[in-house]
Structure 1
Amino acid sequence: MTYKTIVAVLSAAEDAGKVTDHALALARRTGGHVIGIHAESPVVVTLIAPMEYPDPNAVLELQERAQQQSREVEQAFRSRCARDDISYEWRLFTGTAGYASAGVIDSARGADIVLAGQFDPDLDGPAREDIEDLLYESGRPVYLVSNAPAGPEPVDRVLVAWNGSREAARAVFDALPFLTAAKDVEVFAVDPPETAMQSRDFSGAELAAALARHGVNTTVTSGATGGHSVAETLNRRATEIDAGLIVMGAYSHSRLRQRLFGGVTSAMMRGARVPVLMSR
């Protein structure tokens, strides 16, 4: 298994270059084809005009701003791809649906992996809803490029966030190309429960055995939150072992519950210190 079709969803000029760099680095290792995608969504603001009709000049200005952003994103993508001897293509979709547009979702469903920028409320990049749409609708693993300044370095160590869920299991095997290429993989359980089926001391042991059959050098550890959130615990552990990637399941609880109360997925969308591969 390898990543041969790599979709890079590029939302704004601020993150287009970084996401493209990660996509190209992955394509160089796998011999993959990179598809750059941008969903052009006009900026929506309240337009106040006499007789409650929108000012045509204001509408034209919004359209031009959206088109200018599309040109900047395309330039950032094409200029980087042109420097590499890598197969690539560019796709532009227009409308108001953003990442949820049919064109973006259809393109993502035909990919081995989808790359996107991490949610950052301070930048004109993807919104939390955009990333949720990719995770829920594409059916593909989503690799979130973190806002940390580091570039796409080779991933020598991977931290697998393991809770025994269906989503976590899918993420692990979606990430298998990263795991088999890494020098070390740590299966890390946070506050593992004691159940009738398995002792907390052996949480992740069966997964580690399965990965070992793929030639993955795997260790199993666990940690306690100790008053911190699970997301903080994962970030802290990734820093301790110098992991270049976190692999985790997304939304093992309902989307509504995540929206109302937050959760590990939402927190990692915003605060992961290294790239995160999520699957649902």
Structure 2
Amino acid sequence: MGYKTILAVLDTPKNAQQITDFSISLAEQYQSHVIGLHAEALATVPLVAPMEIPDPSTVQALQDMAHAETLDVEKIFRERATRNGTSHEWRSFVSSAGFSASSLVDSARNVDLVIAAQGENTVLSESRAELENFLFESGRPVLLVPYILKEPKPIKRVLVAWNGSREAARATFDALPFLKAAESVEVFSVDPAETRTQSAAMAGAEIAATLARHGVNVTVVRQESDHLPASAAIENRLSDSSIDLLVMGAYSHKRWWEMLFGGVTRTVLESMTALTLLSR
């Protein structure tokens, strides 16, 4: 079992090299086919009174700039994939909807894993909102690469942020190839709640037992937050345990896609220091 088809989301020339390198590294590990995907923005110019007529030359100049960026991204992807002998293909789409475009979402729905960049802007931006919608609509696990992580490294230590939710369960099993290959996996719960089927003291034990049957070297850790946000507990654990990969569900208390990354998920993403696999 592994990720046989990987979709590399390549935003700009600035992160194209990073995401391509991480995709190639995983492709070598799992003998995967890599699809490089870029969304070329459709140039638009706001209408200005009184004439409210866009200048065609301005529109064309903006489109030319966007297309030049597409060519730069494609060159980076093709050259690195070819040099490494990686099975690959290139796809680019011109769309005013960015990563929300149906053609891009359709591409994502047919792969095992999506790889994308965290981005250096920690403030929720239009591009971040597009990425959130992309994850929600694609239904596929997304591996986010923090901007501080410039080169691929082996995924030896994994932390599963476990709260018993549907999203956490989905993320855990989507990450199974990583978990089976890791040297150690920790199921980490913060302030686990008492439920009808499981006591707080046993939180994470059942999913750990299931993972162990897959051959995963797994341990269970439960921690009281001491009135700190759960996100802070997770971040501290990532640092203290030198975690290479965080696995967690993408969820929120509200059901609108605009609020997909809520609470703990959003906070962790804004300060992420490790690779993070998210599933919805």
> 1:95 is matched with which residue?
95
Rate the CA distance shift 1:145–1:84 in 2: closer, same or farther, 3 A.
Answer: same
* AA matched with 1:247: V
RMSD: 2.2
Taking the aligned partners of 1:63 and 1:258, their CA distance within structure 2 comes to 28
Secondary structure at the counterpart of residue 192 of structure 1: coil
How far apart are residue 231 of structure 1 and its match? 2.3
How far apart are residue 75 of structure 1 and its match? 1.5
How far apart are residue 269 of structure 1 and its match? 2.9
Moved more, 260-269 or 96-105: 260-269
TM-score by length of 2: 0.93
How far apart are residue 119 of structure 1 and its match? 4.0
Taking the aligned partners of 1:12 and 1:134, their CA distance within structure 2 comes to 17
Rate the CA distance shift 1:64–1:243 in 2: closer, same or farther, 3 A.
Answer: same
Rate the CA distance shift 1:45–1:244 in 2: closer, same or farther, 3 A.
Answer: farther
Task: Verify the 8 A CA contact 1:9 1:115 in the aligned structure 2.
Answer: yes
Rate the CA distance shift 1:226–1:103 in 2: closer, same or farther, 3 A.
Answer: same
> 2:81 is matched with which residue?
81
| CA displacement 1:169-198 (0-9 Å, x = unmatched) | 011111000000000000000111123422
| Gap runs ≥5 in structure 2 | none
| CA displacement 1:74-112 (0-9 Å, x = unmatched) | 122112112111100000111111111122111111100
Task: Verify the 8 A CA contact 1:158 1:243 in the aligned structure 2.
Answer: yes
Rate the CA distance shift 1:257–1:56 in 2: closer, same or farther, 3 A.
Answer: closer
* AA matched with 1:139: G
Q: For this pair of structures, how many residues does the alignment match? A: 279
Percent identity, aligned pairs only?
48
Task: Verify the 8 A CA contact 1:134 1:142 in the aligned structure 2.
Answer: no
TM-score by length of 1: 0.93
Task: Verify the 8 A CA contact 1:119 1:270 in the aligned structure 2.
Answer: no
Structure 1's consecutive aligned runs of 4 or more residues displaced over 6 angstroms after TM superposition are none
Q: Is residue 267 of structure 1 aligned with residue 237 of structure 2?
A: no
How far apart are residue 258 of structure 1 and its match? 6.8
Taking the aligned partners of 2:209 and 2:260, their CA distance within structure 1 comes to 37
Secondary structure at the counterpart of residue 256 of structure 2: helix
Rate the CA distance shift 1:176–1:49 in 2: closer, same or farther, 3 A.
Answer: same
Rate the CA distance shift 1:260–1:191 in 2: closer, same or farther, 3 A.
Answer: same
Secondary structure at the counterpart of residue 246 of structure 1: strand
Taking the aligned partners of 1:103 and 1:260, their CA distance within structure 2 comes to 21
Taking the aligned partners of 1:122 and 1:43, their CA distance within structure 2 comes to 25
| Gap runs ≥5 in structure 1 | none
> 1:114 is matched with which residue?
114
